[in-house]
Amino acid sequence: MSPEPDNKALLDQLRIDRSAPEPQSSPRWRPWIIAAGVLALTGTILWWRAGGQAAVAVQTQVARPAAAGAGANASVLDATGYVTARRQATVSAQITGTLTQVLIEEGDHVTAGQVLARLDDTAQRAAVAQAQAQVNSAQALLVQTQANLAQSERDVRRAEDLVTRKLVSEQAVEQARTQVATQSAQSLSQRKLVDLAQANLRSAQVQLDYCTIRAPFTGVIIAKAAQVGEIVSPFSAGGGFTRTGIGTVVDMDSLEVEVDVNESYIGRVQPGQPVESVLNAYPDWRIPSHVIAIIPTADRAKATVKVRIGLDSKDPRIVPDMGVRVSFLEEKKADAQAQEPPRGVLVPAGALRSDADRSIVFVVKGGKAQRRVVTVGGSYGESRQVLTGIDPGESLIVDPPAELKDGAAVREAKP
C-alpha cells in the first residue's frame, strides 16, 4: 500500500508566493502602432502597383477609319503666312505745304478721286492769278500786232497800184512789203509768247491742284499720319518735323495671302491648286482659296519660297497682316471608283505630339496611358491621317499633358 499524501505539502504547492516580482505588462498604445504600420505598408504596395502616382484626368476620342474622311480633299502641305494687300498706298502731297484740312479717319471708306486733305494754297493762287495776267497781256499785244500787220498789207496793195500808174517808185513798194514781213514775224513771235503765258498758267494751276490731296483708288483708310497745322512734304526733311504721308489707303478687293514654303516641299505646290485658309482670329472659318503664283526666287537665309494665294471669297473680317494657316489640298481624281481608299485611321490633330523627330500618341489601355510611335499622313479638316501605329476604335488621349508618361494611370475627365 502506498503511503497517503501529505496534505500540507499539497496546500503549500497551491499557495501564491506574493514575494516574487510581478511581470511588467505591455503598454496599451503598442497595438495601435503596429496597426498603423500595417496600413501604411498596404497603402505603399497599392500606390506602387498603381504606377506610383494618382490617375491623370484626360479627354479621349476614338480613332476612326480614314475612309470616313474621304469626302474632303487631303492636305499635302501645311504652312503659315499673312494677309497682304496688292494695292496699298501711303498718300502724300506732291509739294511741301501746311495742312489746312484733314478729311479722313481710320476705317473710312473712300472712292477714287475723293478729297482726303488740303494744303495752304495762298501762294499757289497768287501764282495762278499772275500767270493769268501774263496771258491776258500777251493776247492783247498779239491783237495789236495783228492789227498793224493788217494795215501794212493794205499799204502794200495801194503802193502796188500806184506803181502801175507810175505815181510812186518801186522803192516805196519794197519798203511796204518789208514792213509786212517784219510785222508778220512780230505777230508770230507774239503768238508764241501767248502760248508760253498759257503754259505758265497751266503750270501754276497744277501747283494749285497739288494743294488738294485725293484718293488714288477706292479703298479703306487704315492709318492717319498727319493733323491740321503740320507741314507735309514728299521728301523727308526738317529734322523729323515734316510729315511725309497723310494716310494709308488699302484696296480691300486686292487682299491675298503670302506664305513661305520650305524649298524642300515646293514641288507639292502648283499654280491654281486648291487651298483651304484659316485665319488665326477665326479658327472655325474655312476660306476656300487657290494658288495664284509661286514667286520664282528663294530666300537663302530661310530656305523658303514665297507663294501667293488668292481668297475666293471676300469678307470685311479679313484685314491686312492677319495671321493665316493654309492647307494645300490634293485635287480629287475624276474617276472616284478607281481612286484607292485612304489607309489608316483619322485622329484629332490635338492627339499628336512631337518627340524628337517622331510623332507619338497616347492610347488608353486598361486605365493606363500607352505611348505609341505613329506615321502621319495628310490632313482631313480638323483630323490627321495616321498610317501606322493605331487601329480603328482605339481610344486616344486628346491634348495629352506634357508630363504624361508611358504607363501612367489615367481616367476619363468629365466634360
399: nearest Cα among 356, 374, 369: 369
What whole-number distance in Å separates Cα of residue 143 and Cα of residue 190?
9
Extended beta strands in 177-273, E state: 212-214, 219-224, 231-232, 247-250, 255-262
Do 200 and 224 have their domain in common?
no
pLDDT of residue 62: 83
Q: What is the CATH number of the domain that holds 292?
A: 2.40.30.170
Establish if 23 belongs to a structural domain. no
d(C-alpha 163, C-alpha 85), whole Å: 83
- Report the pLDDT value the prediction gives residue 296, as an integer from 0 to 100: 92
Same-domain check for residues 304 and 198: no
The cell numbers describing 415, all together, are 466634360
**Residue 222 grid coordinates:** 487704315
| CA 325/CA 80 separation, integer angstroms | 5
Q: Is residue 290 part of a domain?
A: yes
Nearest to 118 by CA among 102, 106, 104: 102
* 3 part of a folded domain: no
CA–CA gap between residue 398 and residue 227 (Å, rounded): 54
Q: Are residues 112 and 235 in the same domain?
A: yes
* pLDDT greater at residue 171 or residue 122: 122
157-213 confidence digits (pLDDT tens): 888 888 788 777 788 888 888 988 988 898 899 999 999 999 999 999 999 999 999
Residue 225: which CATH number? 2.40.50.100
| Residue 2: per-residue pLDDT | 46
Lowest mean pLDDT among 72-81, 344-353, 398-407: 72-81
Q: What is the pLDDT of residue 369?
A: 86
| CATH number (domain holding residue 370) | 2.40.420.20
Question: Quick check: is 154 in a domain?
Answer: yes
pLDDT at 65: 79
Number of domains, the chain: 4
Residues 126 and 203 in one domain: yes
Determine phi and psi for 315, rounding to 5 degrees.
-155, 140
Task: Indicate whether 2 belongs to any domain.
Answer: no
218 and 284 in a single domain? The answer is no
Task: Band the pLDDT of 337: cuts 50, 70, 90.
Answer: very low
Report the b/e string of 16-25 with b at 16+ CB within 10 A. eeeeeeeeee
CA atoms within 13 A on the CB side of 274: 12
- Regarding predicted confidence, which is higher, 403 or 103? 103
Portion of the chain with pLDDT greater than 90, in percent: 40
| 229: Cβ contacts below 8 Å, ≥ 6 apart | 98, 99
Residue 249 has pLDDT above 60, yes or no: yes
Same domain, 256 and 375: no
Per-residue pLDDT tens for 16-65?
Answer: 555 555 545 445 555 666 666 667 666 655 554 555 556 778 888 888 87
pLDDT digit string (tens) for 366-404?
888 888 888 887 777 667 888 888 888 888 888 888 888
Same structural domain, 139 and 202? yes
CB-based contacts of 75: which residues, under 8 Å, 6+ apart? 276, 327, 328, 329, 330, 378, 379, 380
Q: Is the dihedral of CA 258, 260, 265, 266 positive or negative?
A: positive
- Determine the structural domain holding residue 143 and report its residue range: 122-208
Q: Provide the grid cell at 110.
A: 473712300
**What pLDDT was estimated at residue 10?**
53
Sequence-separated (6 or more) residues with CB below 8 Å from residue 160 = 173
**Residue indicated by cell numbers 495776267:** 133
**Mean pLDDT, rounded, for 53-80:** 73
Residues 226 and 94 in one domain: yes
Cβ contact 356:371 at 8 Å: no
Beta bridge partners of 19: none
Q: Produce one character per residue of 272-289: b if its CB has 16 or more CB atoms within 10 Å, e if not.
A: ebbbbbbbeeeeeeebeb
Q: Which residues pair with 311 in a beta bridge?
A: 289
- By mean pLDDT, which of 95-99, 247-251, 303-307, 364-368 is the weakest? 364-368
**Residue 133, phi-psi category: left (phi > 0), alpha (psi -120 to 50), beta (remainder):** alpha
Q: Is there a domain that residue 189 lies in? A: yes
**414: Cβ–Cβ under 8 A, 6 or more apart, which residues?**
none
Calculate the average pLDDT of the chain.
Answer: 82
**Are residues 311 and 164 part of one domain?**
no
> What are the Cα distances from residue 175, in Å, to 161, 171, 223?
14, 6, 74
Residue 353 forms part of a structural domain: yes
| Segment among 126-130, 189-193, 343-347 with least mean pLDDT | 343-347
Spatial neighbors of 402 by CB under 8 A, at least 6 apart, are none
Q: How far apart are CA 170 and CA 178, in angstroms?
A: 12
Last residue of a domain, one of 147, 178, 208: 208
Residues 153, 193 within the same domain = yes
In a domain, 324, yes or no: yes
How does residue 406 score in pLDDT terms, banded at 50, 70 and 90? confident
Give 213: exposed, middle or buried? Use CB within 10 Å, 0-12, 13-18, 19+: buried
Q: Do 156 and 305 fall within a single domain? A: no
Which of 151, 175, 208 is the last residue in one of the domains?
Answer: 208
Please report, to the nearest 10 degrees, the dihedral formed by the alpha carbons of residues 168, 170, 171, 172 taken in order.
40
Q: Are residues 320 and 265 in the same domain?
A: yes
pLDDT at 54: 66
Residue among 65, 63, 67 at smallest CA distance from 336: 67
